[in-house]
Amino acid sequence: MKIAALLIGLSCASGAFAQRGAAPPPPASVGAAIDREISLVERQIVAVVEAMPEDKFNFSPESLDIKGANFKGVYTFAGLVKHLAAANYFLWGGAGGDKIPASITGIKGPESMTAKAEIVQLLKDSFVSGHHAAAALTPENSLDMVAGPGGNKVPRVFALTFTIAHADDEYGQMVEYLRMNGIVPPASRGN
């Protein structure tokens, strides 16, 4: 009975992989495994950011009149993107040895940057820093303390993994901003 259940479970699992394509090979290292996660969140976020039209890039739900809602002081869409790029640089830069761009002086990102194309490029460049940090991660250095935001020190592996979790959080907010503007997020559009 237990063997039959195991075989049924394995056939269902193999069917799921067959529908989605072949499972990727196992990563060669811990850094490579984390790099895969960085790539996944990067694709989702860049797609969402590129989906927001330029004329809506500075949208904030603060402008909406929703009974009982208080959006006072929340980021604009562009502000979310700049904040995410800055956070990526602060954490991944410290973990991978990349210098933080001079235009990023705080966690909100470069205030003077307003053009969508510049902000999108800043975001993409921040993910390059993540890939560098993942490539530099080894079991031996994973617990080394590296520069984090605000002059704090954090374990290198934390800098990599927390930044992915933070990016996922910001992604959720960006998706909501798209939907508030009647835009279906790329991941919800199907193939």
pLDDT less than 50: residues of the chain: 1-19
Domain count along the chain: 1
Specify whether the CB–CB gap between 96 and 136 falls below 8 A.
yes
Is 124 part of a structural domain of the chain? yes
Count Cβ neighbours within 10 Å for each residue of 80-89 and write b for 16 or more, e otherwise: bbbbbbbbbb
Is 17 part of a structural domain of the chain? no
pLDDT score for 68: 73
Is 122 part of a structural domain of the chain? yes
pLDDT score for 95: 93
Q: Both tokens of residue 108?
A: 């909100």
Is 10 part of a structural domain of the chain? no
Is 115 part of a structural domain of the chain? yes
Is 12 part of a structural domain of the chain? no
Give the whole-angstrom CA distance, residue 140 versus residue 96.
Answer: 14
Residues 57-109: pLDDT tens digits? Answer: 999 988 777 777 778 888 999 999 999 999 999 999 989 999 999 999 999 99
Give the chain's radius of gyration (CA, Å): 20
pLDDT score for 124: 98
Is 87 part of a structural domain of the chain? yes
Q: Both tokens of residue 25?
A: 């090979």
pLDDT score for 13: 40
Domain of residue 50: give its range.
25-63+73-188
Residue 38's CB: how many other CB atoms inside 10 A?
A: 23
Specify whether the CB–CB gap between 83 and 75 falls below 8 A.
yes
Is 14 part of a structural domain of the chain? no
